[in-house]
Amino acid sequence: MNEMSEKAQVLVNLLVARATGSEEKDQDYRPLRHVFVTQPQYAAVAPSFLKTCLNLAQFWQFIKQQSSTYAERRKFIWTEFQPLLQLLESGSSAPSDAHITGAIQRFDSATVDEAWRKALDRREVDPDGAITMARTLLESVCKHILDKSPVDYGDAPDLNKLYRLTAAELNLSPSQHTEPVFKQILGGCTAVVEGLGALRNRLSDSHGRGSAAVGAAPRHAQLAVNLAGSCAQYLLATWEHRQKNEPAAPWGSANT
């Protein structure tokens, strides 16, 4: 367990103790809270109550209203801390990783979550596998959004088709916009997805290779995973916003 994981565990234990009647000290709580609410890579996935409860007195008032029994309070605290604990255990330290992880956690899909975590874990140690999981991540995100829409995508669609259908459903296709700069940006997103598919076919472990084949390097995996994660995050954020603000409007409004 690394140092940050240990601090998170101490914080969880402290809050569980306070939530179940123990008199803990603010001098122990405040420094730990400060670590996880002021650093962007952690704040993105930290429990929301950690950001609003400046001291243990405020936390006590919050947790009393949240749950009536000690067992419910323990479960609530551990559940709220899971995204942060998982992030720390994965060894991810880049702010973008944390923001993407947060978006995926909110989407609540085991398949999408697994693909993202495998992609992160394999970037340095298994570049070929990381590139495969980068594409799997996008495929899973697109399928889940289309399933929830619902939009039929057939029996064995490739990534390009899945992305085109998802982009159209979310009003993110270049053809759905008239402003040149927005068409250019959205076209760039399409090109990124197509490029990830081509990179996977060329460098990943998803196909057999000849004797002259070149394996992927960690830098290739970093590029593929980071691009896939950013695209996935944007699709999920747009989907989430759409659920709260129907109907979607053209780019230039809040819905894109």
Instruction: Band the pLDDT of 165: cuts 50, 70, 90.
Output: very high
How far apart, in whole angstroms, are the C-alpha atoms of residue 178 and residue 162? 23
Average pLDDT over residues 251-255: 50
Q: Which residue has the tokens 């659920």?
A: 243
Residue 247 has pLDDT above 80, yes or no: no
Q: Are residues 7 and 85 in the same domain?
A: yes
Are 112 and 75 found together in one domain?
A: no
CA angle at 233 for the pair 220 and 104, rounded to the nearest 5°: 105
pLDDT value at 116 more than 90 = no
Q: Which domain holds residue 116?
A: 93-256
Same-domain check for residues 101 and 214 = yes
Instruction: Specify whether 142 is located in the same domain as 243.
Output: yes
Q: In the chain, how many domains are there?
A: 2
In this structure, are 98 and 220 located in the same domain? yes
- Residue-wise pLDDT for 59-104, tens only, equals 999 999 999 999 999 999 999 998 888 778 766 555 566 678 777 8
Q: Which residues pair with 251 in a beta bridge?
A: 253
In terms of domains, do 80 and 109 share one? Answer: no
CB-based burial, 93-131: b 16+ in 10 Å, e otherwise: eeeebbbbbbbbbebebeebbebbbbbbbbbeebbbbbb
DSSP 12: H
Q: What is the chain's length? A: 256
**What are 14's two structure tokens?**
């402290």
Same domain, 106 and 214: yes
End-to-end CA distance of the chain: 40
| pTM value surpassing 0.75 | no
Kindly state whether residues 79 and 112 are assigned to the same domain: no
DSSP one-letter code for 20: T
Are residue 101 and residue 191 in the same domain, yes or no?
A: yes
Q: CB of 159 within 8 A of CB of 138?
A: yes
Asked if residue 254 has pLDDT above 50, the reply is no
Give the model's pLDDT for residue 94: 55
By CB neighbour count within 10 A (0-12 exposed, 13-18 middle, 19+ buried), where does 84 fall? buried
Tell me the Cα Rg of the chain. Answer: 21
How many H-runs (helices) and E-runs (strands) does the chain carry? 12, 0
Same domain, 131 and 229: yes
Please give the full DSSP string across 161-191, using - where no structure is assigned: HHHHHHHHHTT--GGG---HHHHHHHHHHHH
What span, in angstroms and rounded, lies between the C-alpha atoms of 52 and 55? Answer: 9
Token readout for 245 is 């603000």
User: For the segment 209-232, what is each residue's pLDDT rounded down to a tens digit?
Assistant: 554 455 778 888 888 898 999 999
Last residue of a domain, one of 67, 91, 115: 91
pLDDT tier at 198, thresholds 50, 70, 90: confident
For 171-185, write each residue's pLDDT tens digit: 999 999 888 898 899
